[in-house]
Structure 1
């Protein structure tokens, strides 16, 4: 199957295509396909979203030089100041690079100068193999990746360089091809770099009164963003001019305030460059109605996407990607993009059965009786799978809580709610580790639709209680639907298909999937032209 995929990609390249979308299911070996394409050219970037997949690349494809985040490395400067010599102990104590200061302003001979951490090498030293072996491990691996012909990045680190540091690293960014794995996540990654999230803590820190602003009006939010930037600029000026700073300068505080100023100022520039393309989502408030946070985000990300697609050739890979919607969203000319759609899954069909039970249609207008009927069905399925582990996916935290409330006591005891953030402070990984020790445990989540591998006995059944539509009450979602009619359906289908794959991760693995929400039929009907061919057999679409 890999050979067929590579042959088709090569044919497209020889036909003159420089952008290729590859839709291939789990088990095909997309990472090896991507690595082969990287080798086909003399230089490459490979970019992926999840730490799990990055680790898989590192294990299987050693010629890709990886870049990992600062939190994965001990800070030698902090270790020195805390007199810690053992790097493992430093990691346990949280003395990591993300908490260290790589450069700071210090006072020398009455003058303010920028002092770079003595452990930080230069990229030239790494390029010339003259860096001290005791140099900062984070920068060593980052610069080794930049000077290497083939490197491996996560989206955030790669986009950070492409948006903010292109000029700084211009000599090291001239690659032939970029291979974007998990390409269906690109919009979510780009949107982190555009627009602005405003938090109550920021407003308080800047001594601003949130009641003076209209949270439904873009101009008012631009004014708030400008006021935040002005407040930080003022704080920086006042601190620098204070006697306390003259006697004992706190350059770490200044650096922190400058970063906050830069973010607010850049957000204002981005928004004013195309006001009609930005929308203000409704503010999030606490139980007492007090403001907590609000976001100003772009509707169309295509003008920003081009900043990140800088190489001559680009390969976009995912198990769940529709060419038309993807091209429209990224601002790519459909006729300039080749599409390779793998015709079948490598996994046996009886290992990945999907049962559309059509219990009730769950929507914003569904009744309490409808909800309870679905939960009763969940209860029955849990009884049928009483001796194995499983997974329940739904659309929101309140729906998770409702499921818990109406399940039978014996099945409630099997449940572990698992989100990216959990009430008891446990991480998602910690909850899943606990799940692995419980032979009949069941994870219940609104966030595990992707990015987690519940292989083998970690899950032998999965229940899709509610179709995961984007929240149409969000103003950005409404605006996006108006501008890109297929976007809403495409987003729903992508998330749904990602959910189908959580429990079947290899050829020998197996799990049964139950879908309870009748709305799934409407999704499949509207998305007929978007469904990857690898799902045709299991969805009974072979005759299409």
Structure 2
């Protein structure tokens, strides 16, 4: 009772000092009224930081420590970030994507019925394993419960969430939990979850007053929360280094969103992106050159005729084939024309020309060599070059992505 009185007194004091920073929200369905702060940066010191000299934040989902500090009211200079690579083997936690289902709100009536056979196929593939379907919304949960014909499914409402979760965890049967709200704070190790389906991109609900105002206050906040939800959801079934869980993303907007994040914010960690089966950029074979034409130019290089190789491949520039740039770079390198080699590789990154992961790695390695020779500053320029490459690649291949 004393603690509750103390909490109420602190709330009244804080609300009186800055009433414009608080939101009143009433849920008619549950009959719950809430006062929520728009932001907590003004309250973190009194409620947490004043009780210690040093605070240790440990999390797998601090996606940007500078924004994390800003939103907690911590001066960035007071933060000492330590980032550790995940010990998990991403091959045991893959993300498989679908290209057929646009799950935007306005398209749900058309797309949702089309997803049923795909989900039933996944359930059949994991017929002896437990899993979870993250529906993101109550509407999608209700649709799937009404249309998926399976006795394995169970779901919950706001009143029995904990009870249903406990039943799911304790069962030895291959149950499938269908839920809009199990994407964080849920521990499903080992056989408790061997597969999961993310039905749509988990954008924050802008119908919530606090969410809407936070999004209006900071244009990066919405993307941060979306990426946070993606990473959190992906991690529900992978809880220790020997664990394994397969994730399926139904929403075909997903790959476009991942590429967009790589261009703009880069909130999604490498381990998340590397787990995606289609993370190799979408291939656009339009304007790609025949192997015989490339081979003719490579003959010049193999015979040491670098001058003719350079002339030959320069005439092919503009075609959507990274082998032109690779061979030009090779010819320039062998001719000791390092400035020209640097220029053609930079031109490649700015072109967004179709390129696989192996070839992209070759370009990076060439720039690292040029860095050692003093022709390119890798640490200062590489990040921006890659952003330009992914941006222009996405624009060129947008029809393939979407």
TM over 0.5: same fold?
yes
| Alpha-carbon distance change, 532 to 420 in structure 1, aligned in 2, over 3 angstroms | farther
Shift of 1:275: 2.1
Give the equivalent residue in structure 2 for 1:331. 73
Equivalent residues of 1:390, 1:443 under 8 A apart:
yes
Q: C-alpha separation between the residues in 2 aligned to 1:437 and 1:339?
A: 42
Q: C-alpha separation between the residues in 1 aligned to 2:79 and 2:168?
A: 41
Is 1:390 the counterpart of 2:124? The answer is no
TM-score when normalising by structure 1: 0.46
| Alpha-carbon distance change, 469 to 447 in structure 1, aligned in 2, over 3 angstroms | same
Give the equivalent residue in structure 2 for 1:314. 55
Among candidates 90, 93, 103, match of residue 352 of structure 1: 93
Shift of 1:401: 1.5
Residues 455-512 of structure 1 deviation map (CA, whole Å, 9 limit, x = unaligned): 2222221111122222111121111111122221111211211111111222322221
Equivalent residues of 2:168, 2:175 under 8 A apart:
no
Give the equivalent residue in structure 2 for 1:516. 250
Give the equivalent residue in structure 1 for 2:13. 269
Give the equivalent residue in structure 2 for 1:488. 222
Count residues in correspondence.
275
Residues 332-372 of structure 1 deviation map (CA, whole Å, 9 limit, x = unaligned): 222332322223x3222321111121332323322312122
Is 1:535 the counterpart of 2:272? The answer is yes
> Which of the pair is proportionally richer in helix?
2
Shift of 1:266: 4.4
Q: Partner of 2:163: helix, strand, or coil?
A: coil
Q: Partner of 1:493: helix, strand, or coil?
A: helix
TM-score when normalising by structure 2: 0.62
Residues 411-445 of structure 1 deviation map (CA, whole Å, 9 limit, x = unaligned): 2x11121566328x935323421xx321x221111
Equivalent residues of 2:155, 2:164 under 8 A apart:
no
Is 1:421 the counterpart of 2:159? The answer is yes
Q: Partner of 2:106: helix, strand, or coil?
A: coil
Is 1:372 the counterpart of 2:113? The answer is yes
Runs of 5+ consecutive residues of structure 1 not aligned to the other structure: 1-100, 104-163, 165-258
Q: C-alpha separation between the residues in 2 aligned to 1:265 and 1:361?
A: 48
Cα RMSD (Å) of the superposition? 2.7
Is 1:456 the counterpart of 2:190? The answer is yes
| Alpha-carbon distance change, 427 to 521 in structure 1, aligned in 2, over 3 angstroms | same
Q: C-alpha separation between the residues in 2 aligned to 1:385 and 1:457?
A: 12
| Alpha-carbon distance change, 430 to 381 in structure 1, aligned in 2, over 3 angstroms | closer
Alignment of 1:428-467 (within 5 A): 428-433=165-170, 436-438=171-173, 440-467=174-201
Residues 105-144 of structure 1 deviation map (CA, whole Å, 9 limit, x = unaligned): xxxxxxxxxxxxxxxxxxxxxxxxxxxxxxxxxxxxxxxx
| Alpha-carbon distance change, 536 to 275 in structure 1, aligned in 2, over 3 angstroms | same
Q: C-alpha separation between the residues in 1 aligned to 2:239 and 2:7?
A: 40
Q: Partner of 1:314: helix, strand, or coil?
A: coil
> Which of the pair is proportionally richer in strand?
1
Equivalent residues of 2:103, 2:200 under 8 A apart:
yes
Shift of 1:309: 1.6
Equivalent residues of 1:464, 1:514 under 8 A apart:
yes
Shift of 1:274: 1.0
Equivalent residues of 1:421, 1:427 under 8 A apart:
no
Give the equivalent residue in structure 2 for 1:278. 22
| Alpha-carbon distance change, 265 to 460 in structure 1, aligned in 2, over 3 angstroms | closer
Equivalent residues of 1:351, 1:512 under 8 A apart:
yes
Shift of 1:451: 2.5
| Alpha-carbon distance change, 358 to 316 in structure 1, aligned in 2, over 3 angstroms | farther
| Alpha-carbon distance change, 383 to 321 in structure 1, aligned in 2, over 3 angstroms | same
Q: Partner of 1:317: helix, strand, or coil?
A: coil
Equivalent residues of 1:493, 1:523 under 8 A apart:
no
| Alpha-carbon distance change, 454 to 420 in structure 1, aligned in 2, over 3 angstroms | farther
| Larger RCO (CA within 8 A; separation ≥ 6) | 1
Alignment of 1:84-483 (within 5 A): 266-281=10-25, 283-286=26-29, 292-307=31-46, 308-310=48-50, 311-322=52-63, 323-343=65-85, 345-407=86-148, 409=149, 411=150, 413-418=151-156, 421-422=159-160, 426-433=163-170, 436-438=171-173, 440-483=174-217
Give the equivalent residue in structure 2 for 1:81. none
Q: C-alpha separation between the residues in 1 aligned to 2:9 and 2:55?
A: 32
Q: C-alpha separation between the residues in 2 aligned to 1:380 and 1:363?
A: 22
Q: C-alpha separation between the residues in 1 aligned to 2:60 and 2:261?
A: 15
Shift of 1:537: 2.4
Shift of 1:305: 1.0
Equivalent residues of 1:342, 1:533 under 8 A apart:
no
Q: C-alpha separation between the residues in 1 aligned to 2:209 and 2:142?
A: 26
